[in-house]
A = this chain, B = another copy of it.
């Protein structure tokens, strides 16, 4: 079996999620790089962002490794499409990855908001409160967007995936809600230590 996770390093501790995300999409139907990006934008991008240029590069790598193959589809009035198809090797590789014990369980997530709060004493409490209020507004937008996607999944025409996609979105909703709650708690604490300027 072609094993992406063992290709480049001897220990194989790399996450290598992007190629597997692409392989996963190609199990639904053959797609061009542009199609993959379009699909990403309404789903996977919310928990695994990827630039179009990165998708093209990964598709090239996957093809070299025999996980996908491609053919060019001429189109009228539009640029030709290079359509990628998953191979048997690609399917095996995807399953292998899905059955692995996820490394992400132990990995720490990078969180710039935490980093800013950690050094929060270096700026005025008012500045932190301002940024926390921005955070609340953005996370409420996220809650709205994910809520909409949650509903739209029911009519997306992928009945087998429906439950799994909804559970995925549910994680995003719970975390965004936790972040809003945290921000409110922080604001309350910081208001306490803030000295009012006019009194």
Contacts and interface: CB of A to CB of B under 8 A. Distances in A.
B98 A123 contact: yes
A74 B15 CA distance: 40
Interface stretch (A30-38, A64-72, A114-122): A114-122
A55 interface: no
Given A101-B131, A131-B101, A138-B105, A47 B114 contact: yes
* Total copies of the chain: 2
Size category of the binding interface on chain A = 35 or more
Nearest to A162: B121
B98 A127 contact: yes
Interface of A: 15, 17, 20-21, 24, 27, 43-49, 94-95, 98-99, 101-123, 127, 131, 134-135, 138, 160-161, 163-165, 167-168, 170-172, 174-175, 177-179, 181-182, 185-186, 189, 193
30 contacts: A21-B118, A24-B118, A24-B119, A27-B122, A43-B118, A46-B108, A47-B108, A47-B115, A48-B108, A48-B110, A48-B111, A48-B115, A49-B110, A98-B123, A102-B113, A102-B135, A103-B112, A105-B135, A107-B112, A114-B168, A114-B171, A114-B172, A117-B164, A120-B164, A121-B163, A170-B185, A171-B179, A175-B178, A175-B179, A178-B178
